[in-house]
């Protein structure tokens, strides 16, 4: 009996060893915003390449950056680019850099609930900054009325709603406000979590939408995909060329194309308030954070080939899930950069 157990254990151990050699498991963690498309990509890629299994945990951009820096995951993902301090922390710890690769695009839209107003409102950058700073307090303020001639705005207080949890949506929105308002940049700044001057906090896009739907005369901001899928009414925002645009996938891709001309080599760029007549101003990339050097060549090659696939064939899946595709100029630049991963 003892001999049998011994032999069984040896067989199992060898078997496990053999199996382990065949399946390559790559772990990643990070942003929650792109989780639906990443899940789809990893699944599709695994079906096409049965020996490569990529596992992704949507724990949040902050946790993703942390885990990538600690080395507990093979790659990270973030809705906001890492700042110089965080990049330095990474390269100090590992001896090589952490590279950013944009994968898809998202946008943020202003959503509101005003009794008796069903028209689509126009928002100028000054109005948005003023409302969220607490300077513009009533819906019938001349600044708002001026952009919405013919709409009967009530003389009611604006109930501001923002995100209570740290999120990429907040990062994009505050990044936009910091660009269009020097006051906002000075007083509040941009980040996944900020010290909001006014407003109620809702947890998640669902929380903000819930609060806006229930509270009359309220204004909040949500992810475009979320607004589309949940039939939330949202307004148009004036872009850098002076045109009021309601967010859609084409407008978001345009914003990226506009920024593509001056894209830095590390892809850490903000594309809010991008130039271009058709560009939607509150747009953003979401990035995969890949180390520049891999000690495990199998993992490196697997990730490189996955990235190449995601940036080309994978982009087809983006629009069905309401993400905007990357413009081809950006894809071309990224494909070149992938070759630099050692």
Find the binder of other proteins among 210, 275, 278, 338 (CB under 8 A). 210
DSSP string, 2-16: HHHHHHHHHHHHHHH
The enclosing H or E element of 184 equals helix 182-187
Q: Which is nearer to other proteins, 124 or 169 (CB)?
A: 169
Q: Which residues contact 137 (CB under 8 A, 6 or more apart)?
A: 157, 158
Which residue in the set 113, 124, 167, 272 belongs to the binding site for other proteins (CB under 8 A)? 167
Q: Which is nearer to other proteins, 63 or 105 (CB)?
A: 63
Rule CB under 8 A: is residue 6 a binding residue for other proteins? no
Kindly indicate which of the ranges 36-44, 63-71, 273-281, 310-318 contains the residues binding other proteins, using the contact rule CB under 8 A: 63-71
End-to-end CA distance of the chain: 51
Establish if 134 lies at the interface with other proteins (CB under 8 A). no
Tell me which of 93, 201, 229, 316 binds other proteins, using CB under 8 A. 201
Among 6, 15, 71, 189, binds other proteins (CB under 8 A): 189
Beta strands in 147-202 (DSSP E): 159-163, 200-202
In the complex with other proteins, which residue's Cβ is closer, 203 or 277?
203
Question: What are 124's two structure tokens?
Answer: 């100028």
Q: Which is nearer to other proteins, 232 or 326 (CB)?
A: 232
> What is the rounded distance in angstroms from the CA atom of residue 80 to the CA atom of residue 168?
6
Least distance between other proteins and beta carbon 88 (Å): 13
* 147, 211, 252, 310: residue in contact with other proteins (rule CB under 8 A): 211
Side-by-side strand order, sheet with 98-113? 52-57, 24-30, 75-78, 283-291, 98-113, 218-223, 159-163, 200-202
What number of residues does the chain have?
342
Q: Which of 60, 130, 258, 314 contacts other proteins by CB under 8 A?
A: 60
* Structure-derived torsion over alpha carbons of residues 327, 330, 331, 336, reported in degrees to the nearest 10: 160
Contact 122, 236 (CB under 8 A): yes
In degrees, rounded to 5, the angle at the alpha carbon of residue 154 between the alpha carbons of residues 151 and 156 is 145
From 22, 195, 231, 295, residue interacting with other proteins (rule: CB under 8 A): 195
| Least CB distance to other proteins at residue 194 (A) | 6
**Of the candidates 147, 194, 232, 247, which one interacts with other proteins according to CB under 8 A?**
194
- For other proteins, the binding residue among 191, 309, 319, 321 (CB under 8 A) is 191
- Rounded to whole angstroms, the Cα distance separating 110 from 249 reads 16
Q: Which C-beta is closer to other proteins: that of 189 or that of 264?
A: 189
Which C-beta is closer to other proteins: that of 146 or that of 189? 189
Task: Report 241-300 residues binding other proteins (CB under 8 A).
Answer: none
**Do 115 and 166 form a contact (C-beta atoms < 8 A)?**
no
81-100: contacts with other proteins (CB under 8 A) = 86
Nearest to other proteins of 166, 275 (CB atom)? 166
Q: Which is nearer to other proteins, 45 or 184 (CB)?
A: 184
Token output for 138: 């009533």
Question: Does 231 participate in binding other proteins (rule CB under 8 A)?
Answer: no
76 near other proteins (CB under 8 A): no
- Sign of the C-alpha dihedral, residues 106, 107, 113, 119? negative
Grouping H, G, I as helix, E, B as strand and the rest as coil, residue 268 is coil
Cα separation, 323 vs 320, whole angstroms: 7
Residue 166 touching other proteins (CB under 8 A) = yes
Cβ neighbours of residue 195 under 8 Å, at least 6 residues apart? 188
Residues that bind other proteins (CB under 8 A): 59-63, 65-66, 86, 157, 159, 164-167, 188-196, 199-203, 207, 210-211, 214-215
């Amino acid at each position: 009996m003892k001999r049998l157990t011994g032999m069984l254990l040896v067989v199992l151990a060898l078997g496990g060893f053999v199996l382990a050699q065949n399946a390559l498991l790559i772990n990643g963690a990070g942003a929650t915003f792109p989780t639906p498309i990443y899940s789809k990509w990893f699944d599709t890629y695994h079906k096409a390449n049965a020996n490569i299994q990529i596992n992704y945990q949507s724990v949040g951009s902050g946790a993703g950056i942390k885990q990538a820096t600690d080395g507990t995951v093979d790659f990270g993902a973030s809705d906001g680019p890492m700042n110089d301090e965080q990049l330095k922390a990474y390269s100090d710890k590992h001896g090589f850099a952490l590279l950013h690769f944009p994968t898809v695009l998202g946008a943020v839209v202003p959503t509101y609930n005003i009794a008796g107003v069903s028209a689509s409102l126009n928002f100028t950058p000054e109005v948005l900054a003023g409302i969220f700073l607490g300077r513009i307090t009533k819906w019938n303020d001349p600044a708002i009325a001026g952009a919405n001639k013919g709409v009967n705005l009530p003389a009611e207080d604006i109930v501001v709603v923002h995100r209570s949890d740290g999120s990429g949506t907040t990062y994009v929105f505050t990044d936009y406000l910091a660009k269009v308002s020097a006051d906002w940049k000075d007083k509040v700044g941009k980040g996944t979590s900020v010290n909001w001057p006014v407003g109620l906090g809702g947890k998640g896009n669902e929380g903000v939408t819930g609060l806006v739907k229930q509270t009359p005369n309220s204004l909040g901001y949500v992810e475009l995909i979320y607004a589309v899928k949940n039939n939330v009414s949202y307004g148009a925002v004036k872009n850098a060329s002076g045109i009021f645009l309601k967010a859609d996938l084409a407008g978001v891709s345009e914003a990226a194309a506009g920024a593509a001309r001056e894209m830095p080599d590390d892809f850490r760029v903000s594309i809010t308030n991008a130039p271009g007549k058709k560009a939607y101003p509150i747009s953003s990339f979401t990035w995969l954070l890949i180390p520049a050097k891999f000690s495990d060549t199998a993992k490196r090659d697997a990730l490189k080939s996955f990235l190449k696939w995601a940036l080309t064939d994978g982009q087809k899946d983006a629009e069905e899930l309401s993400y905007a595709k990357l413009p081809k100029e950006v894809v071309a630049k990224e494909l070149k950069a992938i070759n630099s991963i050692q």
